[in-house]
Structure 1
Amino acid sequence: MKSLPWPLPALLAWGAAWLLSLVLGRYLPALWALLLACALPVAASPWAVGWWRRALLAAGFPLALLLSDAAPVAGWVWLAPLALLLLVYPLGAWRDAPLFPTPRGALSALGAAAPLPVGARLLDAGCGLGDGLIALRQAYPEAHFEGIERSRLLQWLCAWRCPWAYVRRGDIWEADWASYALVYLFQRPESMARALAKAQTEMEDGTWLVSLEFAVPEAVPVATLKLAGDRTVWLYRIERRDIRHANSRQLAAEPTAGHRARGYFGR
């Protein structure tokens, strides 16, 4: 279950619980059938990643039962929440972060930790409703702000909330990060190694990759900002790729001292 993109594990568990309640309802009293069906997603919840996903997986089916008993509706009406979920959270974005906003003031100290020139271009990769862009603007009031969001609905809402930013619809992994001085993410732990690899491939030397909450595995940040609630902002400065690549070529070819001198000073 941990390998499945969210929210597929929750949908599978809730669907299995619903089918189980139908089957058990033929052989057991209705109350026992519902109790056993509700126990299924609860038993499956430890396999979800993160406490909030475990809670949502465990409570989703019982909550749906309570709502349906309180206000019985036609079965097709329950497709409306699923349609809204797909509109806000398209299938292609299931491997990225859920809709969690950047807390107010979370990036207030970022300008001092990662200074940028006036007019620098900043990208909020996966901008959601725009809370990250608003926090970035507080840290860099004279920068140029851009956001990218896969969900069309969230892109519209973000553009409405942040008229001073250029917000477009797209895939953060297919977008080109080369022109940005700083890329900000509030993604998932599983996404961070990929994000740093993309930044090191596309971004210029001396630029910044900033992550709220989740660090890049086995990568040493230049700085960290501690927030309330044990949250952390991780700052990674993009290394000089030309020096790293030059050193790699030098070790692979093992040139002579004269060749090394010509190769270094001849550029």
Structure 2
Amino acid sequence: MDTNRFLRGRRPIAVAILSQGVATVGTLGVVQAHYAVTATDLPLWGKLTLAGILAGATALLLQARLTWAVLLTLLPTAFVLALQLDLPAWVPAAALTLLVLAAGNSLGDRVPLYLSNRETLDKLTALAPSGEPIRVIDLGCGFGAVPRAFAKTNSHPESRFEGVESAILPFIVARLLAVLRRDSRIAIRYGSLWRADLSVYDLVYCFLSPHPMGSLFEKAVDEMKSGALFVSNSFDVPGISPTRTIPIESGRSTGLLIWSMPPEDRDE
């Protein structure tokens, strides 16, 4: 069986369960072997170190992101410390659950939560005329700052500013902030960016990671209408030069990479 194929759609819970299961079984086995040879118990620090290494290595073998693997490495120690501090056993489990709700999608899509800063929002919204109807979508919208920024700068009643987000906690926050804005032109929905129909949008924005850019650009080329803009924050498309780049001086000093559809130098 292709393990990664089996896990697709089941992450991050499956990765967490498998990594901690391997850590528990492996550590128990080493502890028993150590006692059989030395007639002494393995020190607590040794058990925790071994469990952490096994958990982290298993997560990496399952192609989890490095940050997630590090967190799973630390989880056995956090659990034991919670017990020693007389904290309820559900505390580390609750912390893990909260992390899954906030960024669990990053394991499958390899897309962490990035937030667009103020300079980025100003330069992004300047790409669209303020008084004309436009339809915009942010793929992986996080807390929904991009749709709200476009709604603030564009006054046309027929415009529509959308965001799609697959991490539960950011989606809930984005949806709540959109409701509080009381602007019917803003729409935030929960789901995969791969299921979004890009053919209806004038501007498609994403701030993702290097991993999905090639496949996402192919989707954009296949679906987006002529003259529409595909805008990536920071991450380029392999083999395809952007039509233009707008530098972003604040934050990580990156830029907005902009392609006008259809791209002129798309590699066949």
Q: Is the contact between residue 129 and residue 154 of structure 2 (CA under 8 Å) also seen in structure 1? A: no
Match of 2:226 among 205, 218, 223: 205
Work out the CA distance in 1 between the residues paired with 2:253 and 2:17. 31
Identity %: 28
Instruction: Find the counterpart in structure 2 of residue 124 from structure 1.
Output: 138
Work out the CA distance in 2 between the residues paired with 1:105 and 1:20. 49
String of CA shifts for 1:83-131, please: whole Å, max 9, x gaps: 545555677983252333333432322244x344622111012223213
Q: What one-letter code is carried by the residue in structure 2 that aligns with 1:18?
A: T
Q: 1:64 to 1:108 in 2, by over 3 A?
A: farther
Match of 1:66 among 81, 95, 112: 81
Instruction: Find the counterpart in structure 2 of residue 253 from structure 1.
Output: none
Work out the CA distance in 2 between the residues paired with 1:11 and 1:223. 45
Q: 1:240 to 1:131 in 2, by over 3 A?
A: closer
Map 1:134-153 → 2, pairs under 5 A: 134-137=148-151, 140-142=153-155, 144-151=160-167
How much has 1:77 moved relative to structure 2?
6.4
Q: Is the contact between residue 102 and residue 135 of structure 1 (CA under 8 Å) also seen in structure 2? A: no
Task: Identify the range of structure 1 (15-24 vs 156-165) with the bigger mean alpha-carbon deviation.
Answer: 15-24
Q: Is the contact between residue 101 and residue 132 of structure 1 (CA under 8 Å) also seen in structure 2? A: no
Work out the CA distance in 1 between the residues paired with 2:64 and 2:77. 20
String of CA shifts for 1:216-247, please: whole Å, max 9, x gaps: 11111122233332433322211179xx9xxx
How much has 1:166 moved relative to structure 2?
1.3
Instruction: Find the counterpart in structure 2 of residue 25 from structure 1.
Output: 31
Work out the CA distance in 1 between the residues paired with 2:80 and 2:163. 38
Task: Identify the range of structure 1 (219-228 vs 12-21) with the bigger mean alpha-carbon deviation.
Answer: 12-21
Instruction: Find the counterpart in structure 1 of residue 52 from structure 2.
Output: 38
Work out the CA distance in 1 between the residues paired with 2:75 and 2:239. 36
Work out the CA distance in 2 between the residues paired with 1:36 and 1:60. 12
String of CA shifts for 1:149-171, please: whole Å, max 9, x gaps: 23555433212112331112333
In terms of Rg, which structure is larger? Answer: 1
Q: Is the contact between residue 105 and residue 135 of structure 1 (CA under 8 Å) also seen in structure 2? A: no
Give the structure-2-normalised TM-score: 0.70
> Which secondary structure state, in structure 1, belongs to the residue aligned with residue 154 of structure 2?
coil
Instruction: Find the counterpart in structure 1 of residue 38 from structure 2.
Output: none
How much has 1:36 moved relative to structure 2?
2.3
Unaligned runs of 5+ in 1: 249-267
Q: Does residue 9 of structure 2 align to residue 16 of structure 1?
A: no
Match of 2:204 among 183, 197, 215: 183
How much has 1:181 moved relative to structure 2?
0.7
Q: 1:233 to 1:70 in 2, by over 3 A?
A: farther
Q: Does residue 236 of structure 2 align to residue 215 of structure 1?
A: yes
Unaligned runs of 5+ in 2: 36-40
* RMSD (Å) for aligned C-alpha atoms: 3.8
> Which secondary structure state, in structure 1, belongs to the residue aligned with residue 199 of structure 2?
coil
Work out the CA distance in 2 between the residues paired with 1:223 and 1:173. 25
How much has 1:180 moved relative to structure 2?
0.7
